[in-house]
Copies of this chain bind each other. A is one copy, B any other.
Amino acid sequence: MNHCQVSFVLPEGRVVETRSASGITILEAARAGGLEIQATCAGRGRCGHCRVQVEGKLAPPSPVEQRILTPGERARGIRLACQARLEGDLKVILPKVAAGPAKILTAGTAAAVPVDSGFTKKVVILDPATLEDVRGDYERLRAKVEMSQPPLAILRQLAAAFRQGEGKVTVASFKDQVLSVEPGDVSGELYGMAFDIGTTTVVGSLLDLRTGRELAVSAARNGQAVHGADVIARIQFAQTVPKGLQEMQKKVIQTLNTIIADLLQEANVKPESVYGLSVVGNTCMQHLLLAIDPSPLGTSPYVPVFQSPLVVEAGELGLQVNPQAKVLVLPNIAGFVGADTVAVIMAAGLDQVKEPVVAVDIGTNGEIVVARDGQLWACSTAAGPAFEGAQITCGMGGTAGAIEGADVIDGELKLQVIDGEPARGICGSGLIDLIAVLLEAGIIDETGRMLSPDELPDEVPADLRRRVVAGERGVEFILTEDGENPVVLTQGDVRELQLAKGAIYAGIKILMNEAGLAPQDLSQVILAGAFGNYVRKESAIAIGLLPIAEKDKIVSVGNAARMGARMALLSQEVRDRALRAAAAAQYVELSGRLDFQMEFADAMLFPRPGGHLDKI
Contacts and interface: CB of A to CB of B under 8 A. Distances in A.
A304 B136 contact: yes
A110 interface: no
A293 B312 CA distance: 27
A584 interface: no
Contact of A295 (B131, B135, B159, B592): B159
Contacts of A132: 589
A134 B302 CA distance: 7
Contacts of A129: 296, 301, 303
B305 A135 contact: no
A301 B159 contact: no
A131 to B, nearest CB: 5
A275 interface: no
A57 interface: no
B300 A158 contact: no
Contacts of A587: 134
Contact of A152 (B138, B304, B316, B592): B316
A373 to B, nearest CB: 24
Nearest to A142: B308
30 contacts: A129-B296, A129-B301, A130-B301, A131-B301, A132-B589, A134-B302, A134-B303, A134-B334, A134-B587, A134-B589, A135-B303, A136-B303, A136-B305, A137-B305, A137-B306, A138-B306, A138-B307, A139-B307, A142-B308, A152-B290, A152-B291, A155-B292, A155-B306, A156-B290, A156-B291, A156-B292, A156-B293, A159-B292, A159-B296, A159-B305
Contacts of A142: 308
A293 to B, nearest CB: 5
A88 to B, nearest CB: 44
A504 B304 CA distance: 64
Contacts of A591: 131
A135 B308 CA distance: 10
A310 interface: yes
Interface string A272-305: 0000000000000000001111011000111111
A312 B160 contact: no
Given A159-B296, A308-B139, A301 B134 contact: yes
A159 B295 CA distance: 9
Nearest to A333: B134
7 smallest CB-CB distances across A and B, nearest first, come from: A138-B306, A129-B303, A136-B304, A136-B307, A131-B301, A136-B306, A137-B305
Interface in A326-373: 332, 334-335
A267 interface: no
A149 interface: yes
B149 A311 contact: yes
A137 B303 contact: yes
Contact of A310 (B135, B149, B160, B305): B149
Given A129-B301, A136-B305, 12 more contacts: A129-B303, A134-B301, A134-B302, A134-B334, A135-B303, A138-B306, A149-B311, A152-B316, A155-B290, A156-B292, A158-B305, A158-B306
Nearest to A131: B301
Interface string A113-142: 000000000000000011111111111001
A447 B105 CA distance: 91
A290 B156 CA distance: 8
A505 B180 CA distance: 45
Nearest to A294: B159
Interface string A561-599: 000000000000000000000000001010110000000
A316 B316 CA distance: 12
Contacts of A311: 149
Contacts of A308: 136, 138-139, 142, 149
Nearest to A334: B134
Interface string A138-155: 110010000001001001
A305 B138 contact: yes
A307 B135 CA distance: 7
Contacts of A589: 131-132, 134
A564 B136 CA distance: 23
A598 to B, nearest CB: 18
A173 B366 CA distance: 40
Nearest to A306: B138
